[in-house]
Amino acid sequence: MDLSNVTRYQSAVAVEAAAPPVVIKRRGYLLIWPAFLYLLAFLIVYPFGYNVYQSFFEYSMLTDTSWFAGLKNYVGLFTSPEYLNSVWVGSLIAFFCLAIETLLGLSIALVLNQNFKGKVLARILLILPLGTIPVINGYMFNILFFPNASVVDHILNILGIINGPMNWLQDPIKARIVIIAMDVWQWTSFMIIMILAGLSAIPESFYELAKLDNMSTWKTFWRITLPKIKFPLALAMLIRAMDLLKFFDGVYALTKGGPQSATETVSFYIYRIGFKAFNVGYASAGSIIVWAIIWVMSFIVISKVFAAKEKAV
């Protein structure tokens, strides 16, 4: 055997001079631009820019003039008990809604993912609320919790849980519970769909392996089910969280923020201050703050959960 083969392999290729560097452009990435420009035009530049601009101005409806106010609106908001209250109320409602919807959605989806008679029917019935119109749900819940004629009171009285009328919508705490119940009622279905989708992507073999390992149901859930549905679950929670922090429709239809602004969310405050009191500067500054809060929250969620997904792929 010829020993010349043993030399470390180097450039054995004799092509003319060094080839020029090839610059090749594949332009498929440009396809992101239509969507981006669309949002830029209709949501970012104008509405968002307008709000940023207005948030630094004060406006008088009497004279229809506005003047530069610097950070006055922001400072004013942070010292306004009304605004701080709405942030607190909004976060409180958002937190409870998200927590309950996630837990309920997860438990119902896990049950619906099993095999039993009537499964399809149960699945359909449990995602029906998704098809209803939020404003009209507001009116329906109004009837269900109507003062002195509450259907819910009636049922709870029959079951012996409460005694006498509850006057749900007159009490600050109870009114919040009703608001939360309404959102949970409508949007748990959304969670169920998203989680079912995640569950249906888990191959059966995973569960069989778990059974072979004699894993308990609880352990199977934590070790196999949850990691596998992490991504759709996080996405669904993110979509819900974004919408919940802007919670408006239900409040508008059911309580109009009352009693005594106990259910006034940030969105509703902005609506009231901007549209009823025409304090545009305040409303704009208020929205920018909400926007910033959701921005930070989403950024954290996305960089943690979704970056982990990228790596896994």
Partner 1 sequence: MPEVILDRISKTIQKKKILDDVSLKIDEGSFVCLLGPAGGGKTTLLKIIAGLEVPSAGAVYFGPENVTGLEPYKRDVSMVFQDFALYPHMSVFKNLASPLTAKKLSKPEIERKVGEVARFLKIDRFLDRKINQLSGGEMQRVAIGRALTKEAQIVLFDEIFVNLDYKLREEMRVEFKALVDELNITTIFSSPDPEDALSLADKIAVVREGQILQYGPRDAVYQYPVDVFTAQYCGYPEMNLVDCTVVKNGGELQIDAESFQIPLPRETLAREITPGSYILGVRPEQIRIMEERQENGVVIPGQMVLTEVIGSDTIVHIDVGRHTIQSFVPGIYRTITDKPVYLNFDTKAMYLFERETGAFVARGT
Partner 2 sequence: MQRVQRESRAYKLFRIVFLLFFIAVFLLPIWWMIKTSIILRVDTVVYPPQYIPKGIEFDGYIRIWKDQGLPFLYFNTIRINILAALLALLLGVPAAYAASRYDFWGKEGGFMFTILSTRFLPPATALVPLYFLYRWLGLVDSIWGLVIAYAGLNLPIVVWVMRSFIDEIPRAMEESYMLDGHSRVAAFFKIIMPLSAPGIAAMFMICNFLTWGEFLLSAVLTTTVPHQTLPIGAAQLEGDIGILWQQIAAIGVLGAIPITLIIVFFQRYLVRGFSFGILK
Residue 242 interacting partner from partner 1, partner 2, none (CB closer than 5 to 8 Å by kind): partner 2
Does residue 86 interact with partner 2 by CB under 8 A? no
Check: CB of residue 249 under 8 Å from CB of residue 135: yes
Nearest approach in angstroms of CB 311 to partner 2 is 13
Interatomic CA distance for residues 55 and 47, integer angstroms:
12
Does residue 105 interact with partner 2 by CB under 8 A? no
Amino acid at 102: T
Interatomic CA distance for residues 111 and 4, integer angstroms:
70
Does residue 10 interact with partner 1 by CB under 8 A? yes
Interatomic CA distance for residues 240 and 247, integer angstroms:
10
Which of 103, 135, 162, 308 is close enough to bind partner 2 by CB under 8 A? 135
Residue 114 interacting partner from partner 2, partner 1, none (CB closer than 5 to 8 Å by kind): partner 2
Binding residues for partner 1 restricted to 12-41, rule: CB under 8 A: 12-13, 15, 18-19, 21-24, 26
Nearest approach in angstroms of CB 224 to partner 1 is 23
Does residue 283 interact with partner 2 by CB under 8 A? yes
Structure tokens at 171: 């009490």
The phi and psi torsions of 66 (rounded to 5 degrees) equal -135, 155
- Tell me the β-bridge partners of 57: 68
The sign of the torsion formed by the CA atoms of 26, 32, 33, 34 equals: positive
Structure tokens at 292: 């910033």
Does residue 114 interact with partner 1 by CB under 8 A? no
Does residue 163 interact with partner 1 by CB under 8 A? no
Residue 1 interacting partner from partner 1, partner 2, none (CB closer than 5 to 8 Å by kind): partner 1
Does residue 51 interact with partner 2 by CB under 8 A? yes
Nearest approach in angstroms of CB 21 to partner 1 is 6
- Tell me the β-bridge partners of 65: 60
Query: Which listed range, 13-21, 76-84, 140-148, 170-178, lies at the site for partner 2 (CB under 8 A)?
Result: 140-148
Which of 18, 22, 35, 212 is close enough to bind partner 2 by CB under 8 A? 35
Query: Measured between alpha carbons, how far is residue 147 from residues 34, 70, 111, 254 in Å?
Result: 51, 46, 36, 13
Q: Which of 295, 282, 246 is nearest to 91 (CA)?
A: 246
Check: CB of residue 178 under 8 Å from CB of residue 144: no
Q: Name 167's Cβ contacts closer than 8 Å, sequence gap at least 6.
A: 147, 148, 174
- For partner 1, which is the closer residue by CB, 30 or 159? 30
- For partner 2, which is the closer residue by CB, 95 or 291? 291
Does residue 214 interact with partner 1 by CB under 8 A? no
Nearest approach in angstroms of CB 35 to partner 1 is 24
Residue 113 interacting partner from partner 2, partner 1, none (CB closer than 5 to 8 Å by kind): partner 2
Which of 4, 114, 163, 214 is close enough to bind partner 2 by CB under 8 A? 114
Write the DSSP symbol of residue 22. P
- For partner 2, which is the closer residue by CB, 6 or 32? 32
Residue 271 interacting partner from partner 2, partner 1, none (CB closer than 5 to 8 Å by kind): partner 2
Write the DSSP symbol of residue 9. P
Q: Which of 291, 192, 187 is nearest to 242 (CA)?
A: 291
Q: What is the dihedral of CA 128, 96, 81, 251, to 10 degrees?
A: 10
Binding site for partner 1 (CB under 8 A): 1-3, 5-13, 15, 18-19, 21-24, 26
